[in-house]
Chain A
Amino acid sequence: LAKTTQPISMDSYEGQEVNITCSHNNIATNDYITWYQQFPSQGPRFIIQGYKTKVTNEVASLFIPADRKSSTLSLPRVSLSDTAVYYCLVVGRGYNKLIFGAGTRLAVHP
C-alpha cells in the first residue's frame, strides 16, 4: 500500500490559487491517485482522480509528474466554502488496508 504524506495544514485567502502536494514514493503501477474533500460533520466527497500528467474538471486540477511519486491538487480562486480537509488517496487493487491518512486542513480567510 502506497503511503501518502501531505502537509497537515495550509492557509489561504479568498480568490487565491491553492496547491496541495502529496508525496507517494512507493506508488505501484496499478495505483490511481484520488483526492477527496471533507467538511466538518460530513463524509468525504470525491474531487478528482488521475493516473498521470494532468487532469482537470470543473472543481480542480491534478498534476502528476512522470515518476508519479507525488501529485498536486490545484484549487483555483478559492472561496470561504473551500475550507475543509483534503485527502490524497493512493489505492491499488489490494485495498483491504485502505487508509485515507490525516489529510490537509485548508483554511480560507476573507
Chain B
Amino acid sequence: DTAVSQTPKYLVTQMGNDKSIKCEQNLGHDTMYWYKQDSKKFLKIMFSYNNKELIINETVPNRFSPKSPDKAHLNLHINSLELGDSAVYFCASSQGASVNQETQYFGPGTRLLVL
C-alpha cells in the first residue's frame, strides 16, 4: 500500500501553461506539505497545511497555490509556468503540525519539465 502518492510522476509542458499535481496520503495524517527539489538537490518547503492552517513559504511565487479538498489530499496548482519551475516536486505528510518533532513521509515525487 502506498502511503503518500503523487500524480503524475512526470510532467512535460510548455511555458505559460497551467498545471496541477495531485497528492494523496492514506496514513490518516493531519498535516501535508509540498517541497521543491532543484537541480542542486536542495529540498525547500513550499507549503504546509493542516485542517486549521496554511503556512506559506514567502519565497514561493503566488503562481503556486495549494488546494486541499479534504484532509487526505493536497494538490498543487501552478499558473503561468516558467522555465525556472522545472524541478522535482515532493508531497509529504506528518501526523501532527509540530514539524520540529514530526516524522515526515514523502511521496515519490513529480518531475516537472517546462519547455
Chain A interface (Cβ < 8 Å from any Cβ of B): 30-32, 34, 41-46, 49, 85, 87, 91-93, 95-103
Min CB–CB distance A28 → chain B (angstroms): 9
- Counting chain B residues whose Cβ lies within 8 A of the other chain, the interface size class is 20 to 34
CB contacts between A and B, total, < 8 Å:
66
Q: Which residues of B contact A96 (CB under 8 A)?
A: 45, 48, 55-58
Whether A98 and B101, one on each chain, are in contact in the complex, defined by CB atoms closer than 8 angstroms, is no
Whether B45 and A98, one on each chain, are in contact in the complex, defined by CB atoms closer than 8 angstroms, is yes
Residue of B nearest to A100 (CB): B43
Q: Which residues of A contact B44 (CB under 8 A)?
A: 98-100
Chain B interface (Cβ < 8 Å from any Cβ of A): 4, 35, 40-45, 48, 55-59, 90, 92, 98-101, 103-109
Q: Which residues of A contact B105 (CB under 8 A)?
A: 46
Q: Which one of A32, A42, A44, A92 lies within 8 Å of B43 (CB-CB)?
A: A44
Min CB–CB distance B97 → chain A (angstroms): 9
Q: Which one of B92, B100, B106, B107 lies within 8 Å of A95 (CB-CB)?
A: B100
Q: How far is the CA of A41 from the CA of B101 in the complex (A)?
A: 26
Q: How far is the CA of A69 from the CA of B106 in the complex (A)?
A: 27
19 A-B pairs with CB atoms under 8 Å apart are A32-B100, A42-B108, A43-B106, A44-B90, A46-B104, A49-B101, A91-B99, A95-B48, A95-B99, A95-B100, A96-B45, A96-B55, A96-B56, A97-B45, A97-B59, A99-B42, A99-B43, A99-B45, A101-B42
Residue of A nearest to B6 (CB): A43
Q: How far is the CA of A100 from the CA of B101 in the complex (A)?
A: 15
Given A93-B100, A99-B45, A101-B42: 9 more A-B contacts, CB < 8 Å: A30-B100, A43-B4, A43-B107, A92-B100, A95-B55, A96-B58, A97-B59, A102-B40, A102-B41
The main secondary structure of chain A at its interface with chain B is loop
Q: How far is the CA of A22 from the CA of B98 in the complex (A)?
A: 22
Q: How far is the CA of A100 from the CA of B98 in the complex (A)?
A: 17
Q: Which residues of A contact B99 (CB under 8 A)?
A: 91, 93, 95, 98
Residue of B nearest to A30 (CB): B100
Q: Which one of B45, B57, B98, B103 lies within 8 Å of A49 (CB-CB)?
A: B103
